[in-house]
Amino acid sequence: MPRSRTRRRTVWVCQSCGLESSGYYGRCPSCGAWGTMVEQAVDATPATGDAKGTGAPVQELSRVTSAERTRLSLRSPEFDRVLGGGLVPGALVLLGGDPGIGKSTLLLQAALRLASEGLRVLYVAAEESPEQIRLRADRLGKTSDGVLILAETALDRAIEIAQELDPAILIVDSIQTVFLSSSESSPGSVSQVRDCTAQLLQFAKRARTPVFLVGHVTKEGLIAGPRVVEHMVDVVLYLEGERFHQHRLLRAAKNRFGSTNEIGVFEMTDSGLLDVSNPSALFLAERASHAAGSAVVVTLEGTRPILIEVQALTSSAGYGTPRRIATGFDATRLQVLVAVLSKHAGLKLGEQDVFVNVTGGYRLVEPAADLGVALAIASSASGLPLDDDAVFIGELGLAGEVRSVHGLERRLQEAARLGFRSAYVPASARISSPVSGLRIVAVGSIAQAVSSLAVRAVQDRLSHGVRREE
Ligand code: TYD
Ligand code: MG
């Protein structure tokens, strides 16, 4: 947008956190990084907003139309779920993730689906050539006339074209490779990324066109560029996954139009990302039956319960402090659980290395998994398997008590649906209606859990072990 009365001034911008200052610092006063301040010329007029404002009328709140009614579905239940039920008009969505994780694939697939229904999508390819995108589309088994590819890194021109074409969605891949000619810094720099986002924000709001921005994640796990970009956009999505696993998780780190608890699960196949409507089946697919050290936990992601297998392995430690190593589970939490097991369930783990692995590359964050993780450790320590068709739900307190968790009934229903026959739940939990096909075992403490029916054998073995030691 041409701007009159533009004045230039120079500022020092931290390349790590985006702090702007009028003077130079060897060490950024905001994030503490050394040698990251770079001198940059900026417009004295603010990057966002118009001097005259938007010219919007004052209106009664009750007459403002709700965005709910006008959400655009991306024809993928998993994608829509994370967005809070589809795309809101004028929403600016940042999609972040490691290189090669599938960001471009996810967006191109959405574009192709919309285009096959007659909608027009403008895909600004600032990283790849149109030929590369065509190859990807061929791999996805679809091409459609409705997807318009614009290989352009000059954002001013891309926005001009978008204004003319008025697409249903604009995709910019990626925000780090486009630039504004009015901004002198190089593409990918803090001020360039911020100014480009500001321009796209203006476009999205004015044209009421949803805009997707692809952003790369740096080593520190943040989207490269200033944090301020995350503040400017409406929705921040992360596509995550393990390199050697097929599934991808889409999470919302921020969502002005919905919850940030929901996750979308996809599977990367030879023909693109497929929605996984039953993630538990995916995570439990390779479970070995009657294996010691394995427990199934039920985690609740937003409104959806997901069943996941946790594996534990204990083995005698060599010299030095025994190791407690967790993959997909918080290491500090693991230490706490080992301490609780030693103190309150009588397990001798002082000279044992303890390893915990959440299968499928999933990251378990909910305390509701405590009981399952602790029992998996107890099972491995004893060499005896837990109940094969049981799930374990409950948080562990430091006194060894099993504490209640939210959404218990929903978790139980999912376990029953997947064919599990029993569920170990906190004794304090109230279950208003029985879940058909599921035997409920109420456990009040970890000591009780270890000595309960399912792990009776575990306990027998432990006490034999103790007797042998005597
Ligand atoms: P891509 O979308 O290019 O990742 P990003 O944009 O996040 O950098 O995805 C690249 C990876 O996905 C690449 O390793 C190949 C793989 N892939 C498949 O396995 N199946 C497919 O159908 C497609 C298109 C890609
Ligand atoms: Mg890409």
**Domain match, 194 and 301 both:** no
Cα 102 to averaged position of ligand 1 atoms, centre (Å): 4
Give every CB contact of residue 15 below 8 A, 6+ residues apart in sequence.
36, 37, 38, 189, 190
**Domain match, 253 and 287 both:** no
Cα 100 to averaged position of ligand 1 atoms, centre (Å): 6
State what percent of residues in the chain have pLDDT above 70. Answer: 88
pLDDT, averaged across the chain: 86
In a domain, 56, yes or no: no
Which of the four pLDDT bands, split at 50, 70 and 90, describes residue 400?
very high
Beta bridge partners of 445: 401
What are the distances in angstroms from CA 56 to CA 52, 53, 206? 11, 8, 11
Contact 368, 394 (CB under 8 A): yes
In a domain, 463, yes or no: yes
**Domain match, 86 and 126 both:** yes
Q: Does 234 count as an annotated binding residue? A: no
Q: From the CB of 102, is ligand 1 less than 6 Å away?
A: yes
Q: Does 142 count as an annotated binding residue? A: no
Regarding pTM above 0.85, the answer is no
- Total number of domains constituting the chain: 3
Cα 369 to averaged position of ligand 1 atoms, centre (Å): 32
Q: Which of 254, 277, 300 is the last residue of a domain?
A: 277
**Domain match, 340 and 244 both:** no
Q: Which of 277, 298, 314 is the last residue of a domain?
A: 277
**Mutation test residue for ligand 1: of 128, 268, 269, the one with most atoms within 8 Å of CB:** 268
pLDDT, one tens digit per residue, over 237-296 is 999 887 677 889 998 989 999 888 888 999 999 999 999 988 888 888 888 877 889 999
**Domain match, 211 and 291 both:** no
**Domain match, 450 and 329 both:** yes
In a domain, 319, yes or no: yes
**Domain match, 300 and 423 both:** yes
In a domain, 161, yes or no: yes
pLDDT, one tens digit per residue, over 134-190 is 999 999 987 778 899 999 999 999 999 999 999 999 999 989 899 998 888 888 888
Contact 31, 18 (CB under 8 A): no
Ligand having the closest approach to the CA of 100 = 1
**Domain match, 286 and 180 both:** no
Cα 50 to averaged position of ligand 1 atoms, centre (Å): 39
Question: Tell me, what CATH number does 420's domain have?
Answer: 3.30.230.10
In a domain, 64, yes or no: no
The pair phi, psi for residue 305, each rounded to 5°, is -80, 140
What are the distances in angstroms from CA 138 to CA 81, 120, 272, 333, 373? 27, 19, 10, 46, 44
List, in sequence order, every beta strand (DSSP E) within 24-146.
37-43, 92-97, 121-125
CA-nearest residue for atom 21, ligand 1, is: 272
**Domain match, 384 and 447 both:** yes
In a domain, 143, yes or no: yes
Q: Does 460 count as an annotated binding residue? A: no
Q: Which of 258, 277, 296 is the last residue of a domain?
A: 277
**Domain match, 393 and 454 both:** yes
In a domain, 66, yes or no: no
Give every CB contact of residue 284 below 8 A, 6+ residues apart in sequence.
296, 307, 308, 309, 418
Q: From the CB of 305, is ligand 1 less than 6 Å away?
A: no
**Domain match, 127 and 21 both:** no
Helix (H) or strand (E) holding 255: strand 247-255
Range of the domain at 30: 8-43
Q: From the CB of 244, is ligand 1 less than 6 Å away?
A: no
**Domain match, 337 and 403 both:** yes
pLDDT, one tens digit per residue, over 49-76 is 455 676 778 888 887 766 556 899 999 9
In a domain, 261, yes or no: yes
Question: Tell me, what CATH number does 226's domain have?
Answer: 3.40.50.300
